[in-house]
A and B are shown apart, each in its own frame.
Chain A
Amino acid sequence: MAKSNKPIVWGLFAAGGTVTAFITPVLVLLTLFAAMRFAPSLFTYESIHAFAANWLGKLIIFGVITLSLWHAAHRFRITAFDFGIRADLVVATILYIIAALGTISTFFSLLSIH
Chain B
Amino acid sequence: MSEERQIQLEVLRYNPETDLEPRFQTYSVPCVNEWVVLDALNYVKENLDPTLSYRWSCHMAVCGSCGYMINGEPKLGCKAFIHEYGDHIRVEPLAHFPIERDLVTVVEDFITKFSSVKPYLIPKEDKPISAGEFKQTPAQLMKFKQYTLCINCMLCYAACPQYGLVPEFLGPAAISMAHRYNQDSRDGGRDQRQEVIASHEGVWECSFVGACSEVCPKHVDPAGALQQVKVASTIDWYKEHLMPWSKK
Contacts and interface: CB of A to CB of B under 8 A. Distances in A.
Interface of A: 1-8, 10-11, 14, 78, 81-82
Contact of B200 (A6, A11, A82): A6
Nearest to A79: B207
B245 interface: no
A82 B202 CA distance: 18
Given A5-B237, A82-B161, A10 B204 contact: yes
Which of A7, A11, A78 has the most C-beta atoms of chain B within 10 angstroms of its own C-beta?
A: A7
A20 to B, nearest CB: 15
Given A2-B199, A10-B230, 12 more contacts: A1-B201, A3-B194, A3-B199, A4-B199, A4-B204, A5-B237, A6-B200, A6-B204, A7-B236, A7-B237, A78-B207, A82-B207
A3 B195 contact: yes
A-B pairs with lowest CB-CB distance, top 7: A7-B237, A1-B199, A7-B234, A4-B200, A6-B204, A4-B204, A78-B207
B62 interface: no
A4 B238 contact: no
Interface string B215-238: 000000000000000110110111
Q: How large is the interface on B (under 10, 10 to 19, 20 to 34, 35 or more residues)?
A: 10 to 19
Interface of B is mostly: helix
A81 B207 contact: yes
Contacts of A8: 237
A1 B234 contact: no
Contact of A7 (B165, B195, B233): B233
A10 B194 contact: no
Contacts of A7: 230, 233-234, 236-238
Contacts of B237: 3, 5, 7-8, 11
A31 to B, nearest CB: 29
Interface string B80-98: 0000000000000000000
Nearest to B162: A82
A7 B201 CA distance: 13
Interface in B156-200: 161, 165, 194-196, 198-200
A6 to B, nearest CB: 4
A8 B238 CA distance: 8
Contacts of A10: 204, 230, 234
A23 B140 CA distance: 34
26 contacts: A1-B195, A1-B196, A1-B199, A1-B200, A1-B201, A2-B200, A3-B233, A3-B237, A4-B198, A4-B199, A4-B202, A5-B237, A6-B200, A7-B230, A7-B233, A7-B236, A10-B204, A10-B230, A11-B234, A11-B237, A14-B230, A14-B234, A78-B207, A81-B165, A81-B207, A82-B207
Nearest to A84: B165
A1 B116 CA distance: 11
Given A10-B204, A11-B238, A78-B207, A3 B198 contact: yes
